[in-house]
Structure 1
Amino acid sequence: MATTFPDPAPAIGPADLLLDLYGGYAALRESAPAHRMTGPDGLPFWLVTRYQDVRSLLADPRLSLDKRRSLPGNYRGLALPPALDANLLNMDPPDHTRIRRLVSQAFTPRRIEQLRAPVQTIADTLLDEIEPLGHADLIASYAAPLPIAVICDLLGVPAEHRRDFRAWTDALITPDRARPEAAGAAIAAMLDFFAGLIERKRAEPADDVLSAMIAARDDQDRLSEDELTSLAFLVLFAGYENTVQLIGNGVLALLDHPEQLAALRAEPSLLPAAVEELTRYDGPAPLAIRRFPREDVTIGEVTIPAGETVLLALGSANRDPDQFERPDVLDIHRAENSHLALGHGIHYCLGAPLARLETGIALATLLRRLPALALDTPRASLQWRPSLRARGLLTLPVRY
């Protein structure tokens, strides 16, 4: 007979996972298929850690992204205004289907391939600036500015109007408890920025994604004004943030495994497989976006009640030994690599092709131009972002 709570209660909590993410995941996978925990906000959530369960639930229509499905007092998410909140991360079909179909036109294989030369130019320009220095923080000087430039070009954000997106996203992903007003200020700044940007694009449309979305709103009435603003916010936010982590984590993983780095240098054709393995091994999003069951959902001997918050541990699923041989080993020759780092089902990451393209070019250019690349700080001194939702380094000091 199914029980509501795992027995015994998990001895590992969110704070433990921040200290040892993959070791903690391994212990949780062993003890039960799902664990009820208490988050930093004092509210409960369910963590699902095994590959088959995570993959199944990612595509399960019984789990909703709509926050209105949450039990009263069960979930306290980021308080975004409607103009930033009406996006794909809070929607189920049919609204999700309608809006995703519209924005997916910006991420077709043909359009992404057209970005290859511009992405290469951006990567080379960034390395032109830092190569003579002999050392750099690779996050601030390369991994962050590259995807910002790419996604801004895609949306049509003029260079003179580009702001400090990283400061805004940091304020939202890892709020400063000592300065609770910082997140509100970041939200207000983003809302003001997108309102102004849309106004300028309405006055002077161009051949870019944002102009196309505005046309869909104004001429075809396929979006509400809030949906338009939220969609622009999501494309910029998601199109940039995950790729920063993916590039930074990937470089560190290769530096941690010199034999894999040497193999990739010797055989550049391994790059696509290497990008997939780096994404599996230490992806940018340990957790999928929260979900709320429409009805009670049973996983093994555990029943998750309707309306409670469910987090699907992508990072744990990607290290599950029942799915991957030697899952804790980085192997760029790995043949079978059906990782879940970019999701699965109707909510699969829309920008996955762009993230793969950017990461591949970023790594290939870096390894080609900086053959003596090495860490410029003790490995133990590296600091990770204090968040289970975004797996990324604060800095990555390197020398070359």
Structure 2
Amino acid sequence: MTTPTEVRHYPFGDPVRLDPHPTAMTLLREEPISRVRLPYGGEAWLVTRYADVRSVLSDPRFSRAATVGREDVPRVRETPAMPNIPTSMDPPELTRLRKLTMTAFTTRRVQELRPRAEEIVEDMLTAMAAAGSPADLVEALALPVPVTVICEMLGVPPRDQHRFRDFSDAIMSTTAVPDEERLAAFAAVAEYLTEQIAERRAHPADDLLGALVVARDNDDRLSEDELITLGLTLLVAGHETTANQIANFVYVLLTAGEWDRLRADPDLVPAAIEELLRYIQLGNGGAFPRIAVEDVELSGTLIRAGEAVFVDLAIANRDETVFPDPDTMDLTRHHNSHLAFGHGFHHCVGAQLARLELQVTLTALLRRFPNLRLAVPADEVEWKTGMLLRGPKALPVVW
């Protein structure tokens, strides 16, 4: 049984573009289960190896619910984990919520959204072309596409969609805004959803939020707080990750010299998306601690009951025992079992929707703007800081 000797501060430092931190990469190779100290709550275990990460994510002895409301749990934010949010729940409560939403995100239902997603993307690209070169790809395309899609699914009218763009950055902040501002943004979205829920009780609607209201009122399967926080989670998580990844994908393809290759062979897009999901470091680490509810031995390391554990999905996606030549972006990589959408109990329920949006957006962008390129040198692209997710603040492009 091994015992790590050094406790490192985590996250390891400010992110540099989309690059994995060198310390994390060293730990993957030399100390895949290590000790770290978080900004709040003390020390924890950090797990970086692919097989160990999958074990933690699928083992009920590692609990997310045990972190709720506890000041002594290691974390990157001042405020402890909040209750009733799917990311802070364990089965069977989590299973109940997932069953209510998964019917809206099956492969068949998501594919039925393809024509509307294609229409949304084409309209935005037409507007971008009309406005002329240069353009900010974040503002013109990467952000509004997933916002529009998830809002339409939930039934949020167009006149209100700007609210989630205004508040979601604050909700996803770690240090970019004070915690009071983050919680105020959370409360503002919750208040809006409370109004929308009341509207659907008075006037039932055939949308996802309406379906959740029916499940709560007729079957008594969702508490009021669960209904509100589930709607909020779907709205924020349903667009933030995809919006950042659209911009990240384009940045990487343009700077790595792979844009022309995809333009010449658009059939590569689905495989390219899976490889970009694996290759790109989206998260900044430290988002979702788990607590061991009993002693667990993980690859020869004893994790005692009550100790906190973090997993690094992006670093696990660089594990050479699973991905040959992992630090090379290979758009033709086969059998790409990456962990970009998580694994186990908390595997992203919207993974198929995200894939659809990424495929539709990238395919259309390659076709409409085959000569796309950055409008500024790559090292002048400004990146978000103090956030759970990485992405450019703006991505100036010309064509």
- Identify whether the pair has TM-score above 0.5, normalized to the shorter chain: yes
CA distance in 1: counterparts of 2:315 and 2:295, whole angstroms: 23
Structure 2 residues without counterparts, runs of 5 or longer: none
Contact 2:40-2:78 within 8 A present in 1 as well: no
The equivalent of 1:66 in structure 2 is 65
Deviation of the 1:78 alpha carbon = 6.5
The equivalent of 2:163 in structure 1 is 164
Contact 2:56-2:62 within 8 A present in 1 as well: yes
Calculate percent identity across the aligned residue pairs.
41
Deviation of the 1:79 alpha carbon = 4.5
The equivalent of 1:219 in structure 2 is 218
Identify which range, 356-365 or 25-34, moves more after superposition.
Answer: 25-34
Indicate which of 78, 95, 98 corresponds to 2:96.
98
Residue 268 (structure 2) pairs with residue 274 (structure 1): no
- Counterparts of 1:1-400 in structure 2, within 5 Å, are 1-3=1-3, 6-10=4-8, 13-16=10-13, 18-19=15-16, 21-41=20-40, 43-68=42-67, 73-75=72-74, 79=79, 85-132=83-130, 133-176=132-175, 179-258=178-257, 260-285=258-283, 287=285, 289-387=288-386, 389-400=388-399
Supply the AA of the counterpart residue of 2:42.
Answer: L
Closer/same/farther in 2, CA of residues 324 and 246 from structure 1, 3 Å limit: same
Contact 1:119-1:358 within 8 A present in 2 as well: yes
Give the TM-score, by structure 1 length: 0.91
Structure 1 residues without counterparts, runs of 5 or longer: none
Supply the AA of the counterpart residue of 2:296.
Answer: V
Supply the AA of the counterpart residue of 1:121.
Answer: E
Supply the AA of the counterpart residue of 2:13.
Answer: D
Q: Per-residue displacement from partner, 1:167-198 (whole Å, max 9, x unpaired)? A: 32211222456744321321221121111111
CA distance in 2: counterparts of 1:241 and 1:385, whole angstroms: 13
Q: Per-residue displacement from partner, 1:233-289 (whole Å, max 9, x unpaired)? A: 11111111111122111111111222x322211221111111101111115335573
CA distance in 2: counterparts of 1:78 and 1:198, whole angstroms: 30
Supply the AA of the counterpart residue of 2:30.
Answer: S
Closer/same/farther in 2, CA of residues 178 and 346 from structure 1, 3 Å limit: closer
Supply the AA of the counterpart residue of 2:264.
Answer: A
CA distance in 2: counterparts of 1:215 and 1:384, whole angstroms: 41
Closer/same/farther in 2, CA of residues 347 and 267 from structure 1, 3 Å limit: same
State how many pairs are aligned: 394
Deviation of the 1:207 alpha carbon = 1.2
CA distance in 2: counterparts of 1:71 and 1:119, whole angstroms: 41
CA distance in 2: counterparts of 1:395 and 1:98, whole angstroms: 39
Closer/same/farther in 2, CA of residues 170 and 69 from structure 1, 3 Å limit: closer
Supply the AA of the counterpart residue of 2:91.
Answer: P
Closer/same/farther in 2, CA of residues 292 and 154 from structure 1, 3 Å limit: same
Contact 1:46-1:311 within 8 A present in 2 as well: yes
CA distance in 2: counterparts of 1:17 and 1:52, whole angstroms: 27
Give the TM-score, by structure 2 length: 0.92
Contact 1:174-1:385 within 8 A present in 2 as well: no
CA distance in 1: counterparts of 2:69 and 2:63, whole angstroms: 9
User: SS at 2:321's partner residue?
Assistant: coil
CA distance in 2: counterparts of 1:142 and 1:357, whole angstroms: 15
Closer/same/farther in 2, CA of residues 241 and 179 from structure 1, 3 Å limit: same
Closer/same/farther in 2, CA of residues 292 and 80 from structure 1, 3 Å limit: closer
Deviation of the 1:209 alpha carbon = 0.6
Deviation of the 1:50 alpha carbon = 1.1
Contact 2:238-2:350 within 8 A present in 1 as well: yes
CA distance in 2: counterparts of 1:71 and 1:176, whole angstroms: 19
Closer/same/farther in 2, CA of residues 177 and 362 from structure 1, 3 Å limit: closer
Closer/same/farther in 2, CA of residues 303 and 394 from structure 1, 3 Å limit: farther
Deviation of the 1:70 alpha carbon = 8.6
CA distance in 2: counterparts of 1:304 and 1:172, whole angstroms: 31
CA distance in 2: counterparts of 1:345 and 1:238, whole angstroms: 18
Contact 1:243-1:284 within 8 A present in 2 as well: no
Supply the AA of the counterpart residue of 1:200.
Answer: E
RMSD after superposition = 2.3
Contact 1:173-1:389 within 8 A present in 2 as well: yes
Identify which range, 162-171 or 373-382, moves more after superposition.
Answer: 162-171
Identify which range, 278-287 or 66-75, moves more after superposition.
Answer: 66-75
User: SS at 2:103's partner residue?
Assistant: helix
Deviation of the 1:80 alpha carbon = 8.4
